[in-house]
Amino acid sequence: MLRTVRAAVKRAPRRTTYSLSASFVTSSKRCAERTKRGEKQGEKPEETINFNDQYSFTDAPDPDHVKYKRVTANDLEHEREPPRRVKMLVRDFIEDSLYNPQYGYFSKQATIFTAVEPIDFSSVRNMAEFEREVAERYASYGVDGDGPGKQIWHTPTELLKPWYGRALARCLVSEYLLKFFPYEDFVIYEIGAGNGTLALDMLDYIREEYPDVYERTRYNIIEISENLASLQRQKLESAHPCVTVHNKSIFRWDVREPAPCYFVALEVVDNFAHDMIRYDLRTLEPYQGLVTVDAKGDFSTYYTKVTDPLISSFLGLRRYLNHPPPISRLLKLSSTFRTFYTNLPFAPNLSPPEFIPTRLLTLLRTLRRHFPRHRLLLSDFSSLPDTIPGINAPVVQTRYQNTTVPCTTLFVKQGYFDIFFPTDFEKLCDMYEHILEQPLPLADLERERPRLTPLSTTASPLAEGNSFFSSYHPKNRRTPVDGVPSSSGLPVGERKSAVYTHAEFMKTYADLGKTRLRSGENPLLDTYENVKFLF
C-alpha cells in the first residue's frame, strides 16, 4: 500500500482533549518525558519531538495565548526555525510543517523511493516475492542512525514503472485524440511531480506510440519544492524539450491557460492542509481550531467562532450540496436532547474534531479561474489505516531506525513528520462539478472568450446559443458553453467527472499483461485498494 503504516512500536498515549471550559479551549500538558527529567533553572530544555499525552479534563488553558501574534504559513516562509509564542489556524500549522522552505518535511526530510531499474514482473513468482523485492530495494537506502531516519516513501509511479505512467498517458491521449486533435495542442499540467518519473514515462510513451501527438505536446510541471524542481529539470528538459518546470506553489499561480488542457494531480491532495473544526453540542454552531506554540515549543489548541473566510466558504458549500456535518441525528433533531446530553457529568461541550479540506477547495477554485478549459485527472487515498482521532483525520507518521512509526496526535515537531489525509471522492466530485458551474468574474469572462477553431467557424446553430436543439440536458454532462462545440460540432457540454477505483481505472487503460506475475496475480490491480481516481 502507499505509505503503509506499520504499527511496529508501542504507540504513545493520546494528547487530544475534549474541552469543558466556556472559552472552548483545549490545552496540552507538557510532554511527560520532559516532566520526569525536570528542568534545572537556567538549563536549556531538551528538544521535544513528539507531544502525546492522555485525555484530560482538568488542564487550564495558557492565559498568554491571547497575546500571541497570529501568523500564517506564508508569514513563516523565511523563518529558519519553527516559531515560538505564535498562534495560527490548523491548516497553517500543517502547511508550515510540511512545506516551509527552511525546515518543512518535504523541503528537508522526505525522500522519494526511486527504482533505478524497473521490476521484471514476468520473472516474479507471486505477490509475496514481489513484496520481498520491494523490501530489498528499500533496504538499499541503508540503516538509519540515531534520531528520525530517512523519510522514504514510494508511489505507484515508481513501483510500477513504466506501466503505471503509460496507463495514464493512454487515458489522456485517448481523450485528446477524440476531442481536440489536430486543432489544438496537447497541453498537460502536473502538480506534485516528485522526481519527474511520471512525466518521463508518459512522454516516452507518447513519443513512441503517437509521434504526431508528441509534436504538439506541452508538458508543464508546477512544483513548490526548489530541490525537486531542480531534479525535474535535470531529468526531463534534455530528454523532452517540451517540458517546462515552474518552481512555485499552485496556490500562487496567476497565469491563465486559455487552451484546452489536462491537469494531473497524483498523490498530492492527501498532503494538502486541512482546517480543524468542532461543533458546540448545545447550539450546533461550528468553531474553528487554532494552534498556539508557547515559548518552550509546546502546543495547545483552542476554538473560536468561525471567522476565517475559507472555512466559512467551505461550510457554506457543504450546506448547499447537502453534505451533512458529522453530528448524531438525534443531536441535530432535538434541542431538548442536546441540553440533556451536554448536562451529563463529564460530557464534552464540543463534537470530536473534524478535518475539512479547505486547501483542496482553494485548488478547485484555482482550476476554475486559471484553467477554465481543463480536464482533471486526480488520484489519491480514499481511506487510511492508523489515523489520529477525529473525523476525516490524517495519518501522522515518521521513520525511526528503519521503522515507520505512527503517531496519535497532529501536534508534533514541525518538519519531522508526514501528515496526510484520506479524500472522500464522492463529495470531492460534487464540489468540483459545482465550482465548475459557477460564473467567472466579469473581467475574467471577457478574457474567457473561446478561440475560433475549424469546428466553430462554419455556419452553425451554435450562434443561437446552447439551447437551440433542445431544452433537455443529460445529467452526466456539464452545461455547454456557448461557442465551444464538442468533437461532433454540437454544443452538448463536457462529460462530467466520475469516480473510479484504482482497479477499474487500470483495467480500462493499462496493459495488464506487462505487470502480471507468474502466479497470475497482478500488482497493478491487487495493490492500492485504498486509492481512487477522479476523471
Give the tens place of pLDDT for each residue, 184-206: 999 999 998 988 999 999 999 99
Residues sharing a CB contact under 8 Å with residue 283, sequence separation 6 or more, in sequence order: none
Give 61-106 as a DSSP string.
PPTTGGGSEE--TTTTTT-SS--SSEEEEHHHHHHHHHH-TTT-II
- pLDDT reported for residue 379: 97
**Residues 47, 297: contact at Cβ < 8 Å?**
yes
Helix (H, G, I), strand (E, B) or coil at 361: helix
- pLDDT reported for residue 175: 95
| 30/444 Cα distance (integer angstroms) | 51
| 435/369 Cα distance (integer angstroms) | 10
- pLDDT reported for residue 359: 97
Ranges in the chain, pLDDT < 70: 1-62, 109-111, 113, 115, 138, 140-153, 402, 441-474, 480-493
- Distance between start and end Cα atoms, the chain: 22
**Residues 221, 244: contact at Cβ < 8 Å?**
yes
Closest CA to 526 of 170, 131, 5: 131
DSSP 420: E
Closest CA to 328 of 360, 281, 261, 370: 281
Q: How far is CA 520 from CA 3, 129, 429, 516, in A?
A: 25, 13, 34, 6
Please identify which residue in the block is written with the cell numbers 492527501: 270
Please identify which residue in the block is written with the cell numbers 441535530: 332
Report the 3 state secondary structure along 167-229.
Answer: HHHHHHHHHHHHHCCCCCCEEEEEECCCCCHHHHHHHHHHHHHCHHHHCCEEEEEEECCHHHH
- The pTM assigned to this predicted structure is 0.82
Residues sharing a CB contact under 8 Å with residue 152, sequence separation 6 or more, in sequence order: 111, 112, 113, 138, 141, 399
Q: In which order are the strands placed within the sheet that holds 374-381?
A: 243-247, 217-223, 186-191, 261-266, 374-381, 531-534, 499-501
| 361/313 Cα distance (integer angstroms) | 9
